[in-house]
């Protein structure tokens, strides 16, 4: 009998993050065609293990072989990228939210080189199988959690992989959607004979459906055997019981029965709550009553209105119809006293990663206005209650998910609330941590009489609630104890009862059109299964795939599109029309103590000059300081008594000139204008008195370019240069870093595309938008600012294309070493603006720069494009005059782009 060759082989695999060991000496074999469930507590290395198998993480120690190929080798990873599909942890992490369902799948199909017939056949097959066909044009961002996970699976399966790796694909998904999800996987495995499936899951009942189980704890394998063998070896009835025994954890959660006090008023009352968003009804006529101390579970399909209902109960949303009371008071967001009696815990982690455990709790004490003298008591008390004392100085980012959720619960309970509202508090948390979490909830309910309103998708958690409600499409289907609702549908389990309730609604979500795929699992026929073509055409088709997807996202993101297209135009209007070195008329006033004909004649030399504008005279020395301080005038002329008499007697009268020196450059220009007016007065006065004034030679300067000597002709080309450097580089950097933040960069890591193809594809849409923006700015310069293009428009436009490619390449370069969009904005802006404005010649002549700074200036593209822009606008230059600038920009672009490619790795550390 021939032994089955392994799909995955790991030997002595270890991996660390700093001082934290995620995996320690893991060795295993996974046979081809097997289905494997991976379970374990939070933070034990499950995601790291899957990432290493998928080839998206760099191997530190040990070996990983997939289909007999060494994953550590780049050539092997390139081959395996077409055989492996990796779906990372998180709802829709490999999706693009502005793209439609069809466009998302089509992008992934193009990424793996499928031709048009293959794409159309496989996309339609997957849409029909998942029930997503009626919603093919709906944006991914508008889908419920279950539909997002189905779409993510479609994207992963579109290229028919041999190895499917799923990292907690159904976390946060309702039971019916989970059933449909796994039914789809089973159907596709029947079609794709020999597909190996490895799944990490937080749902132990899901793991039990797989043929083989891998259990992990503390970075090590504690079980590696067929599922039935694991259950038998631990002498357990099911896998969850076996899992708890493997972890040496205590099993069995004792829940004292709830005994409501009929004499106490209910804590939460909802009557006919309805919430509409336009024509869409999110919550439809919801009513329930929750007594003091009860644990009330709120269950429903994804997108059914649970979170909207919770927001109405906390005052974050106003109901369209109906009413609700909380602790006997009508719900009002402005009622601070009532809000202090409520604790709220969101599904997503909402505390501060930059603060330690203790500091986060102390901050909550401040927010709930607990007296400062009692902060320490409250914080220490809640840390002891939730076993956080040993973690006081730890940062949340270093804690496992289960402990992070416990910290959130501690923060919600810090101010001793009477009501706790918890939105899927254990989503993604392992079973042992969930049990520990529920121990705290039960203690709060039974001992502290805190009313708990909780949403969950875990049926074993729902069974622990005193009462539960089932919700779908905004309506409550049933309310009662878990056992009552199970018996009402005569179902063997609560999960089966819940699914029956939903299926009775018979809509497109609960009853997708899967009949054809269930009746016959037929492979897609009439489609070539040959490997994707290779060569330059295939290489550039991947570049085009990224470019088209980025272009679609840009067109649908109005804010990014606005800044990319009109940001440079706004800069041109703001800077070119406001930055000027022209000498404009300055306001002046006169304090004339003489008031003679000669003093008035002296003033006329200022009053008649185009450099001065006279304002009403002042009449006291005290007013000099006032008018200068208020900036009403820039110059005050003080004429002393007997001024005219001394002039006629050929004496030297003193005249006071008070100049506002707040802006040195303006003051210096004003001083020169004053000296000029005085010189003209003196010369003409001496001539009238018969004194011969030497007729010195007068030099009249004539400017070769910009004969009017106006700043607008110099500033406009400079602003265009700055705008083409700043905005395209910022937008390109954001485009790449955004993918790192949302996690869609995984599509690059797990695909056949290279870093160069990805970066070129990302760059092209921004080049196009920046080029359109450049044309708009040139039109505005000519038509609005009356700055003509005297040289070759085509030559200047070619230079613009070079500067745009260089600036966008610089944005790609910056994106390679920053991790957040905020960091990308600031880093790009600072690095671009300072050298561009100071070293390009925009504000200061480059000839005035020290030699080493001048050499450095030539390393920035702004220096070279300003030469092109000035030559095109003012000097009448053409192609041949710009050849050196073209060459320099091309070299700079090559350096930036190659640096970006080198720094962008296709694997995580």
Look-up of token digits 């193009």: 110
Domain contains 269: yes
Domain contains 703: no
Domain contains 876: yes
Are residues 294 and 240 both part of a single domain? no
User: In the predicted model, is pLDDT for residue 905 greater than 50?
Assistant: yes
Give the domain CATH number at 633: 3.40.1710.10
Domain contains 304: yes
Q: How far apart are CA 545 and CA 760, in angstroms?
A: 10
Last residue in a domain, options 382, 416, 450: 416
Overall domain count for the chain? 5
Are residues 722 and 636 both part of a single domain? no
Are residues 353 and 484 both part of a single domain? no
Per-residue pLDDT tens for 232-290? Answer: 888 888 887 788 777 765 555 678 888 888 788 888 898 989 988 887 788 888 888 98
Give the H/E segment covering residue 277: strand 268-277
Are residues 394 and 472 both part of a single domain? no
pLDDT (0 to 100) of residue 545: 92
Are residues 230 and 279 both part of a single domain? no
Q: How far apart are CA 818 and CA 478, in angstroms?
A: 50
pLDDT (0 to 100) of residue 526: 37
What is the sign, positive or negative, of the torsion defined by CA atoms of 639, 642, 645, 649? negative
Per the rule left: phi > 0, alpha: psi between -120 and 50, beta: everything else, 481 is: beta
User: In the predicted model, is pLDDT for residue 529 greater than 50?
Assistant: no
Under 8 Å between Cβ of 558 and 603: no
Distances (CA, A) of 254 to 247, 251, 448, 688: 19, 10, 17, 115
Which residues have C-beta within 8 Å of that of residue 537, sequence separation ≥ 6?
none
Domain contains 187: yes
Per-residue pLDDT tens for 679-719? Answer: 888 888 777 776 665 655 454 555 555 545 566 676 788 88
Give the domain CATH number at 453: 3.40.50.300
pTM here is 0.75
Using CB atoms within 10 Å of the CB of residue 24, give its burial: 0 to 12 exposed, 13 to 18 middle, 19+ buried. Answer: middle
Domain contains 165: yes
Are residues 401 and 294 both part of a single domain? no
Supply angle C-alpha 682, 683, 689, rounded to 5: 90
Are residues 363 and 423 both part of a single domain? no
Among 51, 57, 2, 11, residue whose Cα is nearest residue 30: 11
Give the H/E segment covering residue 163: strand 163-167
Q: Helices H, strands E: what count in the chain?
A: 33, 24
CA atoms within 13 A on the CB side of 772: 12
Last residue in a domain, options 416, 432, 452: 416
What percentage of the chain reaches a pLDDT higher than 70?
A: 90
398 lies in which domain range? 347-416
Beta carbons within 10 angstroms of residue 280's beta carbon: 8
Are residues 157 and 273 both part of a single domain? no
User: In the predicted model, is pLDDT for residue 534 greater than 50?
Assistant: yes
User: In the predicted model, is pLDDT for residue 16 greater than 60?
Assistant: yes
The CA dihedral of 102, 106, 107, 110, to the nearest 10 degrees, is: 180
Q: How far apart are CA 355 and CA 393, in angstroms?
A: 9
pLDDT (0 to 100) of residue 693: 56
Last residue in a domain, options 196, 224, 246: 246
Q: Which long-range contacts (CB under 8 A, 24 or more apart) does 702-710 make?
A: 705/874, 705/875, 706/874, 709/582, 710/582
Are residues 116 and 196 both part of a single domain? yes
User: In the predicted model, is pLDDT for residue 834 greater than 80?
Assistant: yes
Report residue 885: phi and psi, to 5°.
Answer: -70, -40
pLDDT (0 to 100) of residue 672: 84
Q: How far apart are CA 310 and CA 343, in angstroms?
A: 12
pLDDT (0 to 100) of residue 1: 42
pLDDT (0 to 100) of residue 711: 63
SS3 403: helix
Kindly indicate the confidence band of residue 514, based on its pLDDT and cuts at 50, 70 and 90: very low
Are residues 811 and 720 both part of a single domain? yes
pLDDT (0 to 100) of residue 520: 39
SS3 421: strand
Domain contains 702: no
Q: Write down how long the chain is.
A: 909
Domain contains 526: no
Q: How far apart are CA 777 and CA 37, in angstroms?
A: 59
CA 141 from chain center: how many Å?
14
Are residues 674 and 777 both part of a single domain? no
pLDDT (0 to 100) of residue 40: 82
User: In the predicted model, is pLDDT for residue 299 greater than 80?
Assistant: yes
Are residues 463 and 354 both part of a single domain? no
């Amino acid at each position: 009998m021939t032994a089955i060759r392994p799909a995955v082989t790991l030997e002595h695999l270890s991996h660390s993050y700093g001082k934290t060991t995620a995996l320690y000496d893991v060795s295993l074999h996974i046979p081809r065609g097997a289905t494997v469930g991976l379970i374990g507590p939070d933070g034990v290395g499950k995601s790291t293990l899957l990432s290493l198998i998928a080839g998206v993480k760099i191997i530190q120690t040990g070996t990983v072989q997939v289909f007999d190929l060494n994953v550590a080798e780049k050539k092997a990873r390139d081959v395996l990228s077409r055989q492996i599909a990796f779906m990372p942890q998180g709802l829709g992490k490999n999706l693009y939210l502005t793209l439609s369902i069809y466009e998302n799948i089509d992008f992934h199909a193009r990424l793996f080189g499928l031709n048009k017939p293959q794409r159309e056949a496989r996309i339609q097959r997957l849409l029909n199988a998942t029930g997503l066909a009626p919603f093919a044009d709906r944006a991914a961002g508008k889908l419920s959690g279950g539909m997002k996970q189905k779409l993510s699976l479609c994207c992963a399966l579109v290229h028919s992989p041999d190895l499917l790796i799923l990292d907690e694909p159904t976390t946060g998904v309702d039971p019916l959607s989970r059933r449909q999800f796994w039914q789809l996987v089973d159907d596709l495995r029947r079609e794709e004979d020999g597909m190996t499936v490895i799944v990490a899951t937080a749902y132990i009942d899901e793991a039990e459906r797989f043929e083989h189980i891998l259990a992990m704890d503390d970075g090590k394998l504690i079980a590696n055997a067929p599922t039935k063998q694991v259950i038998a070896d631990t002498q357990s009835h099911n896998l969850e019981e076996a899992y708890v025994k493997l972890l040496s954890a205590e099993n069995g959660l004792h829940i004292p029965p709830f005994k409501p006090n009929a004499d106490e008023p209910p804590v939460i009352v909802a009557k006919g709550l309805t919430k509409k968003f336009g024509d869409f009804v999110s919550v439809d006529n919801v009513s329930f009553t929750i007594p003091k101390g009860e644990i009330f579970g709120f269950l429903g399909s994804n997108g059914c209105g649970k979170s909207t209902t919770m927001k109405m109960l906390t005052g974050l949303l106003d109901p369209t119809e109906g009413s609700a009371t909380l602790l006997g008071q009508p719900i009002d967001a402005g009622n601070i006293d009532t809000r202090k009696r409520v604790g709220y815990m969101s599904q997503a982690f909402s505390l501060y990663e930059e603060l330690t455990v203790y500091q986060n709790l102390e901050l909550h004490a401040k927010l709930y206005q607990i007296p400062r003298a009692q902060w320490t008591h409250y914080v220490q008390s809640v840390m002891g209650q939730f076993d956080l004392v040993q973690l006081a100085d730890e940062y949340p980012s270093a804690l496992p998910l289960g402990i992070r959720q416990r910290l959130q619960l501690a923060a919600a309970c810090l101010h001793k609330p009477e009501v706790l509202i918890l939105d899927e508090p254990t989503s993604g948390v392992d079973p042992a941590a969930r049990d520990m979490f529920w121990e705290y909830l039960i203690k709060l309910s039974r001992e502290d009489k805190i009313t708990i309103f909780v949403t969950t998708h875990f049926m074993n958690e729902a069974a622990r609630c005193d009462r539960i409600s089932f919700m779908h499409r905004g309506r409550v289907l049933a309310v009662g104890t878990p056992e009552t609702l199970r018996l009402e549908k005569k179902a063997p389990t609560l999960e089966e009862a819940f699914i029956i309730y939903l299926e009775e609604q018979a809509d497109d979500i609960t009853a997708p059109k899967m009949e054809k795929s269930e009746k016959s699992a037929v492979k897609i026929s009439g489609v070539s299964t040959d490997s994707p073509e290779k060569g330059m055409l295939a290489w550039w088709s991947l570049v085009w795939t990224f470019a088209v997807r980025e272009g679609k996202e840009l067109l649908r993101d109005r804010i990014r599109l606005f800044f990319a297209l009109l940001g440079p135009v706004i800069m041109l209007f703001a800077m070119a029309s406001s930055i000027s070195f022209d000498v404009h008329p300055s306001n002046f006033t006169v304090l004339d103590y003489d008031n003679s004909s000669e003093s008035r004649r002296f003033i006329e030399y200022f009053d008649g000059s185009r450099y001065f504008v006279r304002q009403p005279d002042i009449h006291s020395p005290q007013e000099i300081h006032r008018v200068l301080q208020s900036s009403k005038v820039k110059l005050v002329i003080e004429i002393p008594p007997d001024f005219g008499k001394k002039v006629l007697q050929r004496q030297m009268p003193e005249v006071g000139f008070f100049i506002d020196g707040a802006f040195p450059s303006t003051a210096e220009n004003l001083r020169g204008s004053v000296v000029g007016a005085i010189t003209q007065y003196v010369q003409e006065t001496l001539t009238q008195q018969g004194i011969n004034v030497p007729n010195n030679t007068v030099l009249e300067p004539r400017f070769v370019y910009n004969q009017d000597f106006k700043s607008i002709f110099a500033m406009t080309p400079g602003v265009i240069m700055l705008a083409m450097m700043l905005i395209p580089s910022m937008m390109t950097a954001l485009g790449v870093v955004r993918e790192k933040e949302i996690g869609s960069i995984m599509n690059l890591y797990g695909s056949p595309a290279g870093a160069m193809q990805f970066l070129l594809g990302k760059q092209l849409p921004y080049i196009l938008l920046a080029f359109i923006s450049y044309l708009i700015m040139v039109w505005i310069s000519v038509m609005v600012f009356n700055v003509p293009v005297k040289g070759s428009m085509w030559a200047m436009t070619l230079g613009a294309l070079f500067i745009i490619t260089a600036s966008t390449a610089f944005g790609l370069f910056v994106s390679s070493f920053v991790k957040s969009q905020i960091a990308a904005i600031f880093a790009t802006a600072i690095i671009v603006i300072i050298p561009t404005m100071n070293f390009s010649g925009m504000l200061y002549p480059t000839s005035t720069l020290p030699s080493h700074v001048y050499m450095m200036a030539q390393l920035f593209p702004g220096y070279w494009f300003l030469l092109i822009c000035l030559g095109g606008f003012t000097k009448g230059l053409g192609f041949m005059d710009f050849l050196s600038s073209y060459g320099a920009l091309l070299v700079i672009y090559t350096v930036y782009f190659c640096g970006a490619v080198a720094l962008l790795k296709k694997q995580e550390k």
